[in-house]
Chain A
Amino acid sequence: MQKRIVTMLTAMSLMLPAVAMAASGDALFLQSCGACHKKGGKAAIVNPADKAGSVWDKYFARGRHTVDMGMSDADLQAVVKYLVSHAADSDQPAAAVIPK
């Protein structure tokens, strides 16, 4: 019985980071987008509050990010969700996640 509980807890502890990673749009944004969109980076600094939520949606729907971000569809969706939830017209606009 004890062994089973330990096994279950171990399995759950292994799953938790995966769940957290999948849901963490802000971390993905910092990791993936922030790799280039940073001070002195390959691309201009970008933050969620640079655009309104619906504008972010349309930006990715139109395929305007021409550089391959190397993200899965699920990760990209998480990033877009994060951008929209902290967009310029949201309740919590984030203007300096990536420092300017």
Chain B
Amino acid sequence: MKKILLTAGALLAWTGCAVAGAGGATVSIPTEDYKAILQRLDTLQKRVDQMEKADSPSGKASSAAMPTKLAKDVENIFDTLDKVETKTLKDRINLGAELRTRVDSFKLKDDLSLGAVPGAVGTDHNDNYWTNRFRLNLDSEIQKNLLFTGRLAVYKNFSNLGNDAQNDASQAHVPGNSNVKLDRAYVDWIPEGMPIPLALTFGRHPSSEGPPSELKENRLRQSTYPSLLFDGEADGVVATVGLERYLGWKNSGIRFAYGKGYQDSGSTSYLDNGAHPYDDINVYAMFFETEIPGVRDSLMVLSALQATNINGMGITNAAGNSVGKNLGDMSLFGAHVQANNVVDSGFDLFLSTGINKTDPNGRTFIHPITGAPIGLLNDNGTSKHTGWSVYTGLRYNIPYKPWNNPKVGFEYNHGSEYWASFTWGPSELYNKLGTRGDAYDLYYIQPFNDNLFGRLGYTHINYDHGSMSQVFGEPGDSNAVLDNVYFLLDCRF
């Protein structure tokens, strides 16, 4: 309709201009032409009226017909949006999942911990050792500055209830206990209106699979702490101060962490420590991290942490009673640097170092099997020791799209005689980063699609001192060797 009116108007204007241009200010046209124009206008008006009548559902010409329809459409869109938005807001937690099936073929030989009698060595091997790991990942943006992240996990041997031979084929089908393993559950709170950029994290922390584990795990960074120093589950409180605005270094910040390695939570602990003769293991830590200035997609972390009153309560006698004692303190210091896709070469590189220093309190206890006195990395309760470790590696991202850009990586770590760290929760079956000796690790990652990849790997470890990476007792010499070939399938969605 508008188009027709505009056309008619333009026609008239064009006609007028043409005449005016030809004859000056006064327009004069023949009577026949004038009548023809009027007739044409009249015809156009009738056509417009007919079209408006046809458009109107009520059969009445109404200029408000279109706006009413539009208003209804808008209202319908709003109603739909209301439903979608309400549904979204009710879904407070986003869910994700991971499933990993892994088979290991390993042989640990000449290990002192496997000997039939104290002082003798033994061998352990398994051609095909299968495990399943399921993780349920949760996250929620509770508010703009309040975020929740959680992870529930089941990590089990094929068919076994635990590390024993008890079959578990009916665990999910008959009444049992309600145990669920809590891997991590924490809240990040970023208070508004603070004079400095501050974040507070509390709960069960993302303290496992830290850098550079994400390279081998084929995922994004999973933890705050470099895995050479700390790799395990930890309850605590962390305050993070952002430093980027002061230093100008991207992603720079400093973290102050407090947690516990052990807490006296016995039923009478609020009265006294009589029935629970262990002091708490308090863990204090500080981490400075930043992207390395001038190096894109890089990370540097400087770490310092201390664990006080380390105890050996996990060591028990035949009756199951703990024989350990509080043995002293241990401090750890570390430096980690990492750069991904260095100068667009496809190579990811990292170097991590750590130093540990013990401060024993003079106490020892008697090991229930060996009968040897046990102190903090000593046998006399007093000797102070310093250990160190270096951990380095690379990963190459093969630019071959038909195979979904597979990756190949190599890692090496060496630990000294007195090296000890807090790496109890590695993804492997063994504590590779606690090695006192040399560990070589080669792997190949084959992505099958965006949600599924396979990893084939080989690990070889030569233990020079004590294969168990414990902090209890003098490490002693070792000639143990571990060889492991494994393959895993990992699905995340």
Minimum CB–CB distance for A68 against chain B, Å: 17
Alpha-carbon distance between A62 and B90 when the two chains are bound, in angstroms? 22
Answer whether residue A54 sits at the interface, using C-beta atoms and an 8 A cutoff.
yes
User: Are B90 and A55 closer than 8 Å at their CB atoms?
Assistant: no
Contact yes or no, A55 B86, CB < 8 A: yes
Which residues 29-83 of A have a CB within 8 angstroms of B?
50-55, 59, 62, 64
- Contact A52 B89, beta carbon cutoff 8 Å: yes
B217 to chain A, nearest CB (A): 35
Compute how far the CA of A51 lies from the CA of B75 in the bound complex, rounded to whole angstroms.
15
Q: How far does the alpha carbon of A52 sit from the alpha carbon of B90 in the complex, in Å? A: 7
B82 close to A (CB within 8 Å): yes
A52 touches B86 (CB 8 A): yes
Residue interface bits B194-209, CB-to-A below 8 A is 1, else 0 = 0000000000000000
A56 vs B166: C-alpha distance when bound (angstroms): 55
Q: What residues on B are CB-neighbors of A59 within 8 Å?
A: 82
Which size class do B's interface residues fall under?
under 10
User: What distance in Å separates the Cβ of A51 from its nearest Cβ neighbour in chain B?
Assistant: 5
Chain B residues positioned under 8 Å from A62 (CB to CB): 78
Partner of A89, one of B75, B78, B82, B92: B92
B49 in the interface, Cβ–Cβ < 8 Å?
no
Nearest to A53 among chain B residues (CB) is B89
User: Which residues of B sit under 8 angstroms from A51, Cβ to Cβ?
Assistant: 82, 86
B85 at interface (Cβ–Cβ under 8 A)? Answer: yes
Pair B78/A88 contact, Cβ less than 8 Å: no
A64 CA to B75 CA, complexed, in Å: 8
Encoded as 1 (CB less than 8 Å from any A CB) or 0, chain B from 176 to 203 comes to 0000000000000000000000000000
C-alpha spacing A50/B375, complex, angstroms: 65
Could you tell me the distance in whole angstroms from the C-beta of A54 to the nearest C-beta in chain B? Answer: 7
Q: How far is the CA of A55 from the CA of B86 in the complex (A)?
A: 7
Contact flags B73-112 to A (C-beta < 8 A → 1, else 0): 0010010001001100110100000000000000000000
Evaluate contact between B82 and A88: CB separation under 8 angstroms: no
Task: Verify A54–B82 contact, CB threshold 8 A.
Answer: no
**Would you call A55 and B92 a contact (CB within 8 A)?**
no
What 5 pairs between A and B have smallest CB-CB spacing? A52-B89, A52-B86, A89-B89, A51-B86, A55-B82
- What residues of chain A have their CB less than 8 Å away from a CB belonging to chain B? 50-55, 59, 62, 64, 88-89
Subset of 17 A-B contacts with CB under 8 Å: A50-B86, A51-B82, A52-B85, A52-B86, A52-B89, A53-B89, A55-B86, A55-B89, A59-B82, A62-B78, A64-B75, A64-B78, A88-B86, A88-B89, A88-B90, A89-B86, A89-B89
